[in-house]
Amino acid sequence: MAPTYRVVLCDLRTDQVLDVLPVTDVSLDDYIGKIGSASATIPLPNRAVAARARAAVEPGRTALWVERGSEIWWGGVLWTANLTSSTRGFLGLQVQAGGWASYLDHRVILHTLQAVQVDQYDIVRGLIDYAASLPGGDIGIEYDAEQLSGVKRDRTFRRYDVPRIREVIDQLGAVEGGFEWRIMSYRDGSGRRVKRLQLGAPIRTGASEVVLDHPGPILAYGWPVDATVQANTWQSRGASDNANQTKESLPLMSAPLVDTDQLAAGWPRLDGTSDYSTVTEQPTLDAHARADLAAALLPQTIPEVTVALDRTPLSPALLGATVRVRIRDLWWAEGLDQRYRVVGLAISPPLRGRPETAKLSLEAA
């Protein structure tokens, strides 16, 4: 029997249930490293359902949880709603939501915050606490207060820069020796809906390895190789020095970096740059540059495999887990047998004879 999807609409601040409604045309995705999204259509077959939807859906204030059967598969903030009418007069309310981290795109640091030799995970938790401490700012994000990275940082976040909290966390994680983060959704043992900050360097989950074969559970795959983002030299630009108004304002620059081994191997010179307009310390900017160069040295390859969920039961809890991919076809004539970490997952529910599938984004384990 096909799984049933529905949305639970709640008040964003209190998580009090406003309504539970059936939906069609569901799509949802979640990632490590970027914000996931969900969309669905709430059919409005009669005046009573329309009134319920009008009362429950308030973009920017409503939380949207997606349930598959009895499990929570996704959660986030409902940001847009679009009422549509077909040529035959059928009404539907199309809703779109962004993962919980999208809320932090709408939160700004309004007070100067400073950390001196503080574990980077504690800095992140401090930013979550800061967001929650301001009136109306607590949406119930939980975390493990004991988890530490072992990497201590000095950071000053100036109110004059009005930085957005998600951007600050992303930059903190992108520096050399940094980390990954996401806010996951699940139901705990007592049945409570949970929004929980997950940190890792990198994030890894799952104890047992999932094996995916093609031919087999893998219905289709894509294997892109993108050298447009590749670089073997790098320089990063930081904040401008505006202290002396009588002199030209010049930005802080990192030391130029060159991968001499790649050039010696015959690669052409490929220059890369990055901007960190709020970074004022030379060591911090240099660490950003080293991390950026390390990430850009090889062409970007993020394979995607589409899996039939009726053949291999998977769920969003697979994010961060290791899978073993085995492919044998004309390209992989000798057979591919490699392990990858799942960094993205997009679910497509069954629709008009199409099976329920999951598209997995992978990176080398």
Dump the DSSP string for 347-363. Answer: EE--BTTBPPEEEEEEE
Q: What is the pLDDT of residues 334-348, one digit of tens each?
A: 999 999 999 999 998
**Residue 26 is inside which H or E element, if any?**
strand 24-31
DSSP state of 329: S
Question: What pLDDT does 2 receive?
Answer: 67
What are the residue ranges in the chain where pLDDT is below 50? none
Question: What pLDDT does 244 receive?
Answer: 57
Question: What pLDDT does 277 receive?
Answer: 85
Structure tokens at 196: 């929980």
CA gap 223, 22 in Å, rounded: 36
Helix axes 120-133, 165-174, angle to 10 degrees: 180
Q: How many helices (H) and strands (E) does the chain have?
A: 5, 22
Question: What pLDDT does 337 receive?
Answer: 96
DSSP-assigned beta bridge partners for residue 20: 8
Q: What is the pLDDT of residues 294-310, one digit of tens each?
A: 999 999 889 999 999 88
- Largest Cα separation within the chain, whole Å, is 74
Question: What pLDDT does 284 receive?
Answer: 92
Question: What pLDDT does 209 receive?
Answer: 82
Buried b (16+ CB within 10 A) or exposed e, 192-209: ebbbbbbbbbebebeeee
Structure tokens at 359: 């598209």
